[in-house]
Amino acid sequence: MNENVELLEYIYQNTQMGLITIPQIMEKTTDGDLKHALSDQLQEYVQINNSAKEYLCRENTKPKELGEMAKMGSSFMTQMKTMIDSSTTNIAEMMINGNTMGVIEIIRKINQYKDSVQAEYLHLAEKLKKTEEANVSEMKSFL
């Protein structure tokens, strides 16, 4: 598989996870400000996901969807982590942890592919990194 496709598939699947989990988390909170912040984050993921999908099509590759096990695992973890504590601070902490892991992984991918992929694909990876960093900063205000 070529490295352009590898990076784009990572970005696509990463944002797919956000598109699945954020709505589930939004259902768990009654805090209007938190819901609004999560909604904004969801829209960012939609945009990045659509760009990754478009670029994959340009590479003559159909985006690989997340596997059912990954989706179920994510749903299960969201349910478990919010079952006992669905407070705003707990949800913010969950989001901070998830986005921090995302930042670490996208930095690894950027470093891995920085000399071998098209500039616009690397730019999309940078956009994802900045989005996840901004998400962490935004969620801190809910702790």
pLDDT digits (tens, 9 = 90+) for 72-117: 888 878 888 888 899 999 999 999 999 999 999 999 999 999 999 9
| 103, two tokens | 């930042």
- Single-letter amino acid, residue 123: H
pLDDT digits (tens, 9 = 90+) for 50-75: 999 999 999 999 999 888 888 788 88
Given this model, what pLDDT does residue 1 score? 65
Given this model, what pLDDT does residue 80 score? 83
pLDDT digits (tens, 9 = 90+) for 31-55: 999 999 999 999 999 999 999 999 9
User: pTM (2 decimals)?
Assistant: 0.93
Q: Where are the domains of the chain?
A: 3-140
- Per the listing, tokens 């989001």 go with 95
Indicate the fold that domain 3-140 takes in CATH: Ferritin (1.20.1260)
Nearest Cα to Cα of residue 8 among 141, 136, 124: 124
Given this model, what pLDDT does residue 78 score? 84
Given this model, what pLDDT does residue 81 score? 87
